[in-house]
Amino acid sequence: MIQTIDLHFLGETKSIASYLIKTNKNTPILIETGPHSSLKNLQNELAKIEVDWKDIQHVFLTHIHLDHAGAAWAFAENGADIYVHPAGLPHLARPEKLMESAKRIYQDKMDYLWGQMNPIPENKLVGVEDKQIFEIDDVKLQAWHTPGHASHHIAWQFEKNIFTGDVAGVKIGNGPTVAPMPPPDIDIEAWEKSIEILRNLKADKFYLTHFGEVTDIEKHLNDLSQNMNQLSKWILTEWQKGKTIEEITPLFDDYCKQELLKQNLDNQTLTRYQYANPAWMSVAGLVRYWKKKMG
């Protein structure tokens, strides 16, 4: 059985999730840790379902962004193995560069938003190959390398369920499906291929880190592809006008907010989208993508 763990990120519900699977021998397996800033919330939510977080010895990450993997080091300190894409592994072993990059973006809000990220010993990090299968008691998890949102992204398959990280986008409640596109390695073409990988798996359910279960897979993926290309082309148009990232960012932020408002979302859901996928983050990611693509 899959259990959804709401991390109550920044005090809000339905923004960031972790997922727990128990094997037939009651071995707990965690998918995503969320950021270190919400580790206490994760510990408390696990305790509510009678799981001691120190008993978790297997942590599967979709990618190394702080909202997905920021607390992984704390589980490794308890002896857990951390399963991660080979390209992301060095950044968890030596997170200084990753944290410095994040600090340039978030500045004095860094600790509040994300907390700390300590190095993980390499003997606790498992580099995961594409299509590799891991068996823990009666549970089998298969890795699907799915770049696009990040070059080091994995979607994890458990039976007919897929833990999609960010490659299947963000969808909160009855809100729209949107594509999170932060720097540094957004790749639209690779993402479209990853969408086809997900489509061809014929899953019954997606489990989104942001946030929860999706059962209408075909519509969800179509909406994601449409949104990704819509936002990408919007950024390209503004960039080709000669506008800088600083000039584009407030315009894009407002554009995305207006698109969400068209969905008649309540204020709480709008806040959840803002926490899960700050629109302004996608500007630098997409400008970098278009610069690289157009030489």
- What pLDDT was estimated at residue 58? 98
- What pLDDT was estimated at residue 109? 82
- What pLDDT was estimated at residue 236? 96
Q: From CA 174, how far away is CA 217, in angstroms rounded?
A: 14
Q: Compute the radius of gyration of the chain from its Cα atoms.
A: 18
Bridge partners, residue 30, by sequence: 20, 59
- Mean pLDDT per block of 10 residues along the chain (295 residues) reads 96 97 96 97 97 98 96 97 97 90 78 90 97 98 98 98 98 95 94 98 97 97 97 96 94 94 91 94 93 86
Write the DSSP assignment of 75-93 as a string of letters: HHHTT-EEEE-TTTHHHHH
Q: From CA 149, how far away is CA 36, in angstroms rounded?
A: 21
Compute, in degrees rounded to 10, the torsion defined by CA atoms 34, 39, 44, 49.
Answer: 40
- What pLDDT was estimated at residue 283? 94
Q: From CA 100, how far away is CA 48, in angstroms rounded?
A: 35
> What CATH class is the domain 2-226?
alpha beta
- What pLDDT was estimated at residue 60? 98
- Amino acid, res. 201: L
Quick check: bond before 184 cis, omega within 30? yes
pTM: 0.95
